[in-house]
């Protein structure tokens, strides 16, 4: 890679102005180091096949204003070199073998074995700086002056310093897939899933509840892991997956996935219908529909059908009965169901709706009163008009009864009644049409009813 082109990489030097250096844990033979690999956001670097912390403060490579900032002291010491800090002159000294470098805060020139050299001839703004008490040095310049080639992988944000050897990079962090970030489930044994990663041999799943680790399972070879029963309760959890291969272990995801487990609340059962009874019949056109209470129900919904048509659909009811409004029902057959809704959802309907029939009330016949006198001369009047279908009250006054008129007979109405002096009352329903002859019991004194429509 051309030292003057490409991405400008800057190296984070873990020192404070007082030069309070913390020792790094180096490989046994520092002079044999061939490659050093660092990843943005990862506090661990890989020196050949060994992964060690960059320093004791948890410093990590970061990106500032589009430039990658990498710790340099651990790199130099991993190679067997030394780093010094001259507070009076704000200068950093690096010695490795025959190479001696000096870089001064804010200056775009460094000295290499006493000779001034531009840090980055293409960008004079690339200079050593102090940020939050730490000196940041240009890694490309330093690494190349110490004999390394620098490679930057923008997708994985990995910097590789090659001192003449080869290295196997750690795998990238797996991409989490399910359960989706922010999802909510009632399954307390969910399957955690992630995508395969090149170079990964095994995976490690870690689940947190708050700050507590409730599961840490490594050595997984599949791309999913089912959480064991009994581990999860209602609450919110976060999880990460790392991949391990010949090149080491990946960093965890930049952002953990989070899921919430809720207790499963079942829908209420279907209410038991009570009244009107299934198959009942009445003339009530405003019947009260009743049902039994259901555990877990907050509201009820009544639906009334006439055939396939819904003629009433009323939800949000809290009582255990509902009176059908006036004017809705006419004579006919209806079916009805009730469902219950609660925190767990809505019940199924009844397996079989209840049915009821509404009939029009019977028409009461017109009441009619007629009077007649029994005299020696016969019936007075002998012809009486009555209304068709009327409930007739026939008053016969026994004024002058004879041996014949002491009983009156109406054959078509099945009437045969003895008459006495004074008031006699006979009731009957008038026929729909025609006439109804009547006579004394001997048939000698006759009369008739004429039915008016």
* Digit-coded pLDDT (tens) for 323-348: 999 999 999 999 999 999 999 899 99
> Which is more confident, 16 or 124?
124
Do 57 and 93 belong to one domain? yes
Pick the more confident residue, 23 or 134: 134
- Residue 24: the pLDDT is 39
| Range 154-180 average pLDDT | 83
pLDDT tens sequence across 379-395:
999 999 999 999 999 99
Residues 246 and 137 placed together within one structural domain of the fold: no
What average pLDDT does this structure show over 337-361?
94
Select from 162, 190, 224 the last residue of a domain.
162
Is the pLDDT reported for residue 156 higher than 90? no
Average pLDDT, the chain: 86
Is the domain of 293 the same as that of 248? no
In a domain, 167, yes or no: no
Question: Of 162-176, 255-269, 304-318, which range is least confident?
Answer: 162-176
* Domain harbouring 211, CATH code: 2.60.40.10
- Do residues 156 and 43 both lie within one domain? yes
pTM of this prediction? 0.39
Residues 420 and 341 in one domain: no
The total domain count for the chain is 4
Are 14 and 157 contained in the same domain? yes
Do 214 and 192 reside in the same domain of the chain? yes
CATH number assigned to the domain comprising residue 139: 3.30.457.10
Q: What's the whole-number mean pLDDT along residues 389-411?
A: 95
State both tokens at 234.
């209602």
Q: Is residue 4 part of a domain?
A: no
Place 16 in a pLDDT band, splitting at 50, 70 and 90.
very low
Residue 122 vs residue 408, higher pLDDT: 408
**Which CATH number is 424's domain given?**
2.60.40.420
SS (H, E, C) the chain: CCCCCCCCEEEEECCCCCCCCCCCCCCCCHHHCCEEEEECCCCEEEECCEEEECCCCCCCCEEECCEEECCCHHHHHHCCCEEEEECCCCEEEEEECCEEEEEECCCCEEEECCEEEECCCCCCCCCCEEECCEEEECHHHHHHHCCCEEEEECCCCEEEEECCCCCCCCCCCCCEEECCCCEEECCCCCEEEECCCCCCCEEEEEEEECCEEEEEEEEECCCEEECCCCCCCCEEEEEEEEEEECCEECCCCCCCEEEEECCCCCCCCCCCEEECCCCEEECCCCCEEEECCCCCCCEEEEEEEECCEEEEEEEEECCCEEECCCCCCCCEEEEEEEEEEECCEECCCCCCCEEEEECCCCCCCCEEEEEEEEECCEEECCEEEEECCCEEEEEEEECCCCCCCCEEEEHHHCEEEECCCEEEEEEEECCCCCEEEEEECCCCCEEEEEEEC
Does 168 reside within a domain? no
Buried b (16+ CB within 10 A) or exposed e, 275-308: ebeeeeeeeebebebbbeebebbeebbbbbbbee
- Asked if residue 305 belongs to a domain, the reply is yes
Query: What are 414-434's pLDDT values in tens digits?
Result: 999 999 999 999 999 999 999
pLDDT of residue 18: 27
Same-domain check for residues 128 and 28? yes
Q: What is the pLDDT of residues 74-124, one digit of tens each?
A: 778 878 888 898 989 888 899 988 889 998 988 889 999 999 988 888 888
Query: Does one domain contain both 47 and 94?
Result: yes
Could you tell me the residue range of the domain that residue 224 belongs to? 176-261
Q: Work out the pLDDT band at 46, boundaries 50, 70, 90.
A: confident
Q: Considering the chain, what percentage of its residues have pLDDT values greater than 90?
A: 60
Residue 3 maps to a domain: no
Burial (0-12, 13-18, 19+ Cβ within 10 Å), 179: buried
Angle at 208 between CA 203 and CA 210, to 5 degrees: 160
- Domain assignment present for residue 285? The answer is yes
Could you give the CA distance from residue 291 to residue 189 in angstroms, rounded to a whole number?
38
User: Do 54 and 142 fall into the same domain?
Assistant: yes
Residues 13 and 148 both lie in one domain: yes
The verdict on residue 169 lying in a domain is no
Which of 162, 186, 205 lies at the terminal end of a domain, its last residue? 162
Domain annotation covers residue 192:
yes
Which of the listed residues 237, 261, 285 is the one where a domain comes to its end?
261
Same domain for 340 and 201?
Answer: no
């Amino acid at each position: 890679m051309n030292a003057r082109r490409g991405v400008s990489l800057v190296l984070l030097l873990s020192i404070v102005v007082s030069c309070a250096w913390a020792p790094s844990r180096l490989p046994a033979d520092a002079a044999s180091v061939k490659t050093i690999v660092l990843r943005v956001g990862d506090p661990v670097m890989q020196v050949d096949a060994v992964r060690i912390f960059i320093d004791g403060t948890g410093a990590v490579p970061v990106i500032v204003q589009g430039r990658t900032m990498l710790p340099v002291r651990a790199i130099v010491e991993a190679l067997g070199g030394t780093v010094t800090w001259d507070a009076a002159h704000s200068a950093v000294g690096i010695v490795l073998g025959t190479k001696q470098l000096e870089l001064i805060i804010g200056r775009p020139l460094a000295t290499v074995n006493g000779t001034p050299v531009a840090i980055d001839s293409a960008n004079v703004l690339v200079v050593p700086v102090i940020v939050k008490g730490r000196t940041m040095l240009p890694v490309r310049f330093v690494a190349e002056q110490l004999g390394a080639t620098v490679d930057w992988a923008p997708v994985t944000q990995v910097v590789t310093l090659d001192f003449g050897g080869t290295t196997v990079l750690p795998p990238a962090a797996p991409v989490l897939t399910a359960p989706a970030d922010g999802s909510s489930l009632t399954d307390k044994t969910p399957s955690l899933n992630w995508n395969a990663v090149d170079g990964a041999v095994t995976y490690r799943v870690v689940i947190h509840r708050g700050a507590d680790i409730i599961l840490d399972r490594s050595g997984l070879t599949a791309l999913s892991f089912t959480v064991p029963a009994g581990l999860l309760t209602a609450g919110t959890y976060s999880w990460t997956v790392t991949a391990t291969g010949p090149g080491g272990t990946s960093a965890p995801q930049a952002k953990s996935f989070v899921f919430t487990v809720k207790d499963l609340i079942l829908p209420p059962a279907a209410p038991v219908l009570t009244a009107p009874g299934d198959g009942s019949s009445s003339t009530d056109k405003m019947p009260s529909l009743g049902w039994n209470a259901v555990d877990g129900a907050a509201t009820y919904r009544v639906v009334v059908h006439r055939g396939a048509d819904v003629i009433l659909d009323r939800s949000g009811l809290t009582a255990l009965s509902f009176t059908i409004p006036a004017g809705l029902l006419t004579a006919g057959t209806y079916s009805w169901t009730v469902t219950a809704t609660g925190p767990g959802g809505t019940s199924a309907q009844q397996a079989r709706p209840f049915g009821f029939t509404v009939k029009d009330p019977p028409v009461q016949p017109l009441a009619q009163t007629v009077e007649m006198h029994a005299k020696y001369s016969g019936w007075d009047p002998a012809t009486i008009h009555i209304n068709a279908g009327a409930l007739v009250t026939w008053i016969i006054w026994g004024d002058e009864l004879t041996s014949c008129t002491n009983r009156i007979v109406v054959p078509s109405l099945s009437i045969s009644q003895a008459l006495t002096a004074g008031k006699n009352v006979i009731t009957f329903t008038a026929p729909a049409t025609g006439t109804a002859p009547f006579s004394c019991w001997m048939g000698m004194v006759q009369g008739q009813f004429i039915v008016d429509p």
